[in-house]
Chains A and B, each alone.
Chain A
């Protein structure tokens, strides 16, 4: 299957700082990428849909000013958690749709964010 690389895999930051997470499709072009958050023992919660060259579409209840998404190229989307607080600690996962109108989504390795 297609490869999606997410970086970093684990990050610890201080409360009030910002953290940037990168999601790259390595061997295909991804016009659409998704960002999810997952709390322990829960399913994935879609945060936003990122489309190359346009503004991200956020799910209800997700603060777009807090979770900044940039999809500047067909292979890279970034999620920046601004002014992080302990309640933002979670597992953040990106996925990308395989190109050519494909509907299969491939996931990055995930980023474990801990805000202290």
Chain B
């Protein structure tokens, strides 16, 4: 099992709809979770961080965390064509005593006008 898993997509969503991105992780003791957005040819950009169970909202973005199920998700409301990108889920893990940010393989999202 991979440490952080995402559906690679592609995920296509019509403009104005809600895009839902999912991520599961293997390390039960992880406490910090992040969503990054990466446009083609660019480096990742942090868009959300979440540390506690429940929902965290920031503008059109909502991150959801369920530590019991080892599941974190990102909802994008009122999707815009500019949201088309690859979304990377990242989990902070301690592996062999070292802190590491482990990434999923990313979900490619396309918003159709």
Are B104's CB and A43's CB within 8 A? Answer: yes
Distance in Å from the Cβ of A48 to the closest Cβ of chain B?
Answer: 10
The answer to whether A46 and B44 touch (CB under 8 A), given A103-B32, A104-B34, is no
**B70 contacts partner chain A, Cβ-Cβ < 8 Å:** no
**Range class of the A interface residue count:** 20 to 34
Are B42's CB and A57's CB within 8 A? Answer: no
Q: Which of A44, A57, A103, A108 has the most CB of B within 10 A?
A: A44
Among B92, B103, B106, point to the contact of A103 (Cβ < 8 A).
B92
Please name all residues of chain B whose beta carbon is closer than 8 Å to the beta carbon of A108 when the two chains form the complex. Answer: 43
Among B49, B92, B98, B103, point to the contact of A44 (Cβ < 8 A).
B103
Distance in Å from the Cβ of A49 to the closest Cβ of chain B?
Answer: 6
**B17 contacts partner chain A, Cβ-Cβ < 8 Å:** no
Complex interface residues of chain A between 75 and 110 (CB less than 8 A to chain B) = 91, 93, 95, 97, 103-110
Q: Which of B44, B45, B49, B106 has the most CB of A within 10 A?
A: B44
The answer to whether A104 and B46 touch (CB under 8 A), given A43-B106, A46-B100, A95-B101, is yes
Please name all residues of chain A whose beta carbon is closer than 8 Å to the beta carbon of B34 when the two chains form the complex. Answer: 104-105
Secondary structure at the B interface, as helix, strand, loop or mixed, is strand
**B80 contacts partner chain A, Cβ-Cβ < 8 Å:** no
Please name all residues of chain A whose beta carbon is closer than 8 Å to the beta carbon of B103 when the two chains form the complex. Answer: 43-44, 46
Complex-state Cα separation, A44 to B42, whole angstroms: 12
Please name all residues of chain A whose beta carbon is closer than 8 Å to the beta carbon of B44 when the two chains form the complex. Answer: 44, 93, 107
Identity of the chain B residue whose Cβ is nearest the Cβ of A34 in the assembled complex: B101
Q: Which of B43, B98, B102 has the most CB of A within 10 A?
A: B43
Among A1, A91, A105, A110, point to the contact of B101 (Cβ < 8 A).
A105
Among A42, A104, A112, point to the contact of B105 (Cβ < 8 A).
A42
- 5 A-B contacts (beta carbon < 8 Å): A57-B98, A95-B101, A103-B92, A105-B34, A109-B43
